[in-house]
Amino acid sequence: MIEFKNVGKKYSGGSFGLEKVTFSVVPGEFVYLIGKSGAGKTTILKLLIGEVKPSSGKIIFKGHEIQRFSRGNIARLRRKIRMVFQDFKTLFDRTVLENVMLSLYILGRRGKEAEAEAKKALKLVGLEDKYNYFPVQISAGELQRVAIARAIAGGPEVLLADEPTGNLDPETGGEIITLLEEINRDGTTVIVTTHNAQLVDKARKRVIAIEEGKIVRDQKEGAYHAS
Amino acid sequence: MHLRTAWNHIRRSPYQACAAILTMALTFFVAAVFFLAAIGIQTILADFEKQPQITAFFSDIKSEEDIRLLDEKLKGTGTVEKTVYISKEDALRIYQEQNKDDPLLLEMVTADILPASLEISATDPKHLEGLAAILEQEPGVEDVIYQKDVVDRLIAWTQVARTIGLVLVLVLATVSLLVLLTVISMKIALKREEIEILRLLGATNWYIRWPFLLEGGIYGVIAATLAWGASFMAVWYSLPFIKSFLTGIVFTGLSPLLILTLLGGLVAGGFLLGVIGSFFALVRYL
């Protein structure tokens, strides 16, 4: 489904984001991308949604090379590969429900249909009682859930989560990971970047470790640290 | 969907919306006033053209018999299509009809002080000069009004008014476009974050652009409707003054078709101007 073939990313100024990264992800997989800050985890996610272009190599999604996509095709790609951002990227002048409906409108859903789907997604993340709250009225953990609900509304094929537990306490972080696993069980491919060793160790999912832009480990049921 | 988003944009920044709408309304108001003035002048011109091309006014020494002889003399040239004799009594009746609402004016005038006249239509405008020359040489002819001169002068004024109107409307339209461009650009800048989020969620460029284009269009439609209302109010209030100034010219009034045509034209023009202004801002900043 997703293939990185010798992907390199050199940022302006000469610093390397990624160097010859090669891996593939099959449909329905759950993958942790781990590594220190600045290792290149977020760059991989940004390459996948076409936010940045690779300097070398190929990124293939369902047989198509993403780096060759036009702006219109990038937009269509982002409706299939949805991302949950580290800073949530919610709109503070919209209610929780309106924030989720935003992604459904883009998919072409209208009125009651969009509202019903948004409520379904919010129910799935446990926010069925917060539809009409504004982002400033809810906690960081709930805000993360809004971001997840917005990403899964409309049923994307791939869900990318960039440090989804980074700003949360361990208990709330655990709940978010459980939620992502539930979404994965429903058939969505999930790729999560994290620093959280405890959660990775507990999950026993595939782990791709990155150091200074290179893949140093790719383990099927891996732990945070190499055994 | 996009329309609702556009409406929300307007609702959330009413002052910027007012600035854009009022500037555009001024442009359309001036355009509407000049359009109505052009229609008015056209009516006056048509009225003049319907009237006989030469009118000769006679002094009291000229008897009806003299005038009849003169009439025959003119018809003898073969260049006259028809003539109409207006006696002093006929002139009084016309005067009374024109001033029926003003008893003071009616009291002051009797048939004695009004001149008799002969209205002459030529078979061709080129014969007018010859006919006028005959009339001017005739004793007892006090005044010869040469309608062609009046029409020519009116046409010249119309041309000048049209040019001034066109230049004014072009300048105001440019100002409107610039104001609209500034307002929409500011809105794009204010919505940078929202636009970025929409893009990351898979919105195409056109999905983001449509609400801004429609916002400009809505400004244009509101401005055009306001200008339409204001221009008709202005005409409505100034009509009695215009009528008293142009006594004798028949105004058919403002037909519903004209009113609706102007509304349709202004709304279409407003929408187009609004969309073009927004489009420039989008091309520049998005």
The predicted-structure confidence for B170-201, as pLDDT tens digits, reads as follows 998 898 899 899 989 988 998 899 999 999 99
Same domain, B158 and B185: yes
Kindly tell me if the per-residue pLDDT of B50 is higher than 60. Answer: yes
- Minimal CA separation from B8 to chain A, in Å: 12
Q: pTM for this one?
A: 0.73
Same domain, B39 and B170: yes
Q: How confident is the model at residue A214 (pLDDT cuts 50, 70, 90)?
A: very high
Judging contacts by C-beta atoms under 8 Å, the chain B residues touching residue A85 are: 200
Q: How confident is the model at residue B147 (pLDDT cuts 50, 70, 90)?
A: low
Same domain, B77 and B119: yes
Which candidate, A227, A225, A161, places its Cα nearest to that of A192?
A: A161
User: Do B200 and A85 make contact, defined as CB atoms within 8 angstroms?
Assistant: yes
First to last CA, chain A: 29
Same domain, B267 and B127: no
Kindly tell me if the per-residue pLDDT of A36 is higher than 70. Answer: yes
Which pLDDT score is estimated for B153?
A: 77
Pairing, β A189-194 against β A16-25: unpaired
Number of domains present in the structure of chain B? 2
Find the CATH number of the domain harbouring B80: 3.30.70.3040
Kindly tell me if the per-residue pLDDT of A134 is higher than 70. Answer: yes
- Rounded mean pLDDT of A193-218? 91
CA-nearest residue to B200 within chain A is: A78
User: Do A102 and B201 make contact, defined as CB atoms within 8 angstroms?
Assistant: yes
pLDDT more than 90, % of chain B: 24
Same domain, B185 and B106: no
Q: Which residue, B94, B126, B146, sits at the end of a domain? A: B146
**Which of the pair, B271 or B53, is modelled with greater confidence?**
B271
**Which of the pair, B19 or B127, is modelled with greater confidence?**
B19
Judging contacts by C-beta atoms under 8 Å, the chain A residues touching residue B198 are: 102, 106
- Rounded mean pLDDT of A146-153? 92
CB of B3 less than 8 A from some CB of A? no
Kindly tell me if the per-residue pLDDT of B246 is higher than 70. Answer: no
Domain containing B187 equals 2-47+152-285
CB of B194 less than 8 A from some CB of A? yes
Q: What is the SS3 assignment for B57? A: strand
Q: How confident is the model at residue B108 (pLDDT cuts 50, 70, 90)?
A: confident
Q: How confident is the model at residue B247 (pLDDT cuts 50, 70, 90)?
A: low
CB of A75 less than 8 A from some CB of B? yes
Q: Is the ipTM of this complex over 0.95?
A: no
Which candidate, B282, B265, B268, places its Cα nearest to that of B32?
A: B265
CA-nearest residue to A151 within chain B is: B201
Between CA A157 and CA A153 the distance in angstroms is 11
List the structure tokens of B229: 């209302």
Chain B residues 197-256 within an 8 A CB cutoff of chain A: 197-205, 207
Same domain, B261 and B130: no
On the 0-12 / 13-18 / 19+ scale of CB atoms within 10 A, A51 is middle
Q: Which residue, B146, B179, B199, sits at the end of a domain? A: B146
Which pLDDT score is estimated for B278?
A: 93
- Rounded mean pLDDT of A13-35? 90
Which pLDDT score is estimated for A119?
A: 94
Which pLDDT score is estimated for A23?
A: 95
Which pLDDT score is estimated for B197?
A: 94
Chain B residues 7-36 within an 8 A CB cutoff of chain A: 12
CB-nearest to A72 from B197, B201, B204 is B204
Same domain, B277 and B239: yes
Contact between A44 and A66 under an 8 Å Cβ cutoff? The reply is no
Between CA A128 and CA A101 the distance in angstroms is 14
Which pLDDT score is estimated for B51?
A: 63
- Minimal CA separation from A221 to chain B, in Å: 31
Same domain, B40 and B170: yes
Which candidate, A158, A156, A152, places its Cα nearest to that of A176?
A: A152
Judging contacts by C-beta atoms under 8 Å, the chain B residues touching residue A77 are: 202
**Which of the pair, B125 or B71, is modelled with greater confidence?**
B71
CB of B193 less than 8 A from some CB of A? yes
Residue A92: phi, psi to the nearest 5? -80, -10
Same domain, B231 and B163: yes
Give Cβ neighbours of residue B170 (< 8 Å, ≥ 6 apart): none
Kindly tell me if the per-residue pLDDT of B52 is higher than 80. Answer: no
**Which of the pair, A169 or A41, is modelled with greater confidence?**
A41
Which candidate, A2, A4, A3, places its Cα nearest to that of A19?
A: A4
Q: Across chain B, what does the average pLDDT equal? A: 84
Which pLDDT score is estimated for A226?
A: 80
Per-residue pLDDT of A60-100, as tens digits, reads: 999 999 999 999 999 999 999 999 998 899 999 899 999 99
Same domain, B32 and B108: no
Same domain, B60 and B127: yes
Which pLDDT score is estimated for B248?
A: 57
**Which of the pair, B102 or B201, is modelled with greater confidence?**
B201
List the structure tokens of A205: 């999912």
How many Cβ pairs closer than 8 A exist between chain A and B?
47
Residue with token string 């009034």: B253
Same domain, B249 and B174: yes
